[in-house]
Amino acid sequence: MFGTSGIRGPVGETVTADLALSVGRALGSETERVAVGRDPRESGELLVDALAAGLRETGTDVLDLGLAATPTVARAVGWEDCDAGVSVTASHNPAPDNGLKLWQPSGQAFDAPRRERITERVETEKWTLEPWDGLGAREPADATDRHVEALVDAVDLGDRDPPGVIVDVGNGAGGVTVEALSRLGCRVETLNATPDGRFPGRPSEPTPENCESLAALVGASDAALGVAHDGDADRMRGAAGDGSFLSGDVLLAVLAAASTTAGDRVAMPVDTSLAVEDFLGDRGVETTRTPVGDVHVAAEVAAGAAFGGEPSGAWIWPAETLCPDGPLAAVRLVELAAERPLAERAAEVPTYPIRRDSLRATDKRAVMDRVREAVAERYDDVSTMDGVRVDAGEGWFLLRASGTQPLVRVTAEAREASRADELFGTARSLAVDAGANGEE
């Protein structure tokens, strides 16, 4: 039922009011007070109503935050003395999807044991419904202003002039970033600022392709940078003042370097560029690789890493929250840009050739089983924490089954192009020999 980022899928198929009702009943059986918020998708209103009904039926009080960024909801759990929180969102997924993501009071997403308990309750209908006089209450609340205050307090521009910023809200719930930057004195211009769950301005995910308008506008203006969010604003990507859109790996390196000192440790997923490891290693900062998914990065941060990030745009500072907080990342990137141009910072991060492909696999699990067997026979330095990753000295390759599609993802990287090509050819052949065939 749960993926690495909660429950997600097409509305009316995977995600229904009936499912939201059941999740509410299951979660309500273990809680007394739950904070709930949603992104702008129209289906979110219906799902929040169903979720709240299930919570209330089991006697749990509901704090309804309405339209709110996911990090706002996650932070509100602790702020409002709740036992858990639920974001009704499909995050960066397209408009037909929606979902449910559950939060602990620390701001960390529900871990595997908690997800398993909720799944078991849903599958076995293990809950007790209260009589009419035992129902939970539902009250409206607003945590956005407190989130804005936390963002303003998290940075210090000193005596530097607040830079000009262009914020591409992506028609999502990230307006909290605009308000925080305005209070910091920045000159703020917005793109796609009206919340609209159809995402008419651009697709929700803030990829380089989807943010071409932002990068072009930043380059043609006197803004020092641009930032972009996905539908629920847990992600943040950025453009430098020269109009270059920062790659996720470069942005991870820049944010991590500014957030750590020698001896610290950074958590990042298995498919992160070797350049990040090299860049941070030169500064005495260690790196730990995790399975792909912000829930895994957050778990490693909770275990002691000073910072965690994913090149897709999820950034975690444990002193603030264990939830990926796109608005927090935005104000911290502005703080860095006010001190020194982002293009200069980005130029310090090495870039290595990386190759990617996706191969169709009707039975991707069987394909990956055969890949593991073949790799185990040929290589010594192998990680199977998430797919199969082989460290080959001056490079690496990774084969992973897609979490949502009948595909096997193939990635290879090396410090030299010829070696990257060689490793990619090897990895792709392993996948084909194991039964994957055809391109995506």
Q: Phi and psi for 168 in degrees, rounded to 5?
A: -95, 100
Contacts of 366-374 spanning 24+ positions with Cβ under 8 A: 366/435, 367/401, 367/408, 367/431, 367/434, 367/435, 367/436, 368/399, 368/400, 368/401, 368/408, 368/434, 370/433, 370/434, 370/435, 371/399, 371/408, 371/430, 371/431, 371/434, 374/430, 374/433, 374/434
Terminal C-alpha separation, the chain = 25
Closest CA to 70 of 96, 91, 41, 97: 91
Cα(141)–Cα(139) distance, integer angstroms: 7
Structure tokens at 313: 């745009």
Closest CA to 71 of 159, 153, 183, 146: 146
| Cβ proximity of 326 and 313 under 8 Å | yes
> One of 29, 43, 91, 247 is an active-site residue; which one?
91
Closest CA to 316 of 364, 266, 387, 280: 266
Closest CA to 427 of 408, 412, 406: 412
Cα(225)–Cα(165) distance, integer angstroms: 5
Closest CA to 67 of 167, 184, 180, 147: 147
- 221: annotated active-site residue: no
Q: Which residues are catalytic?
A: 91
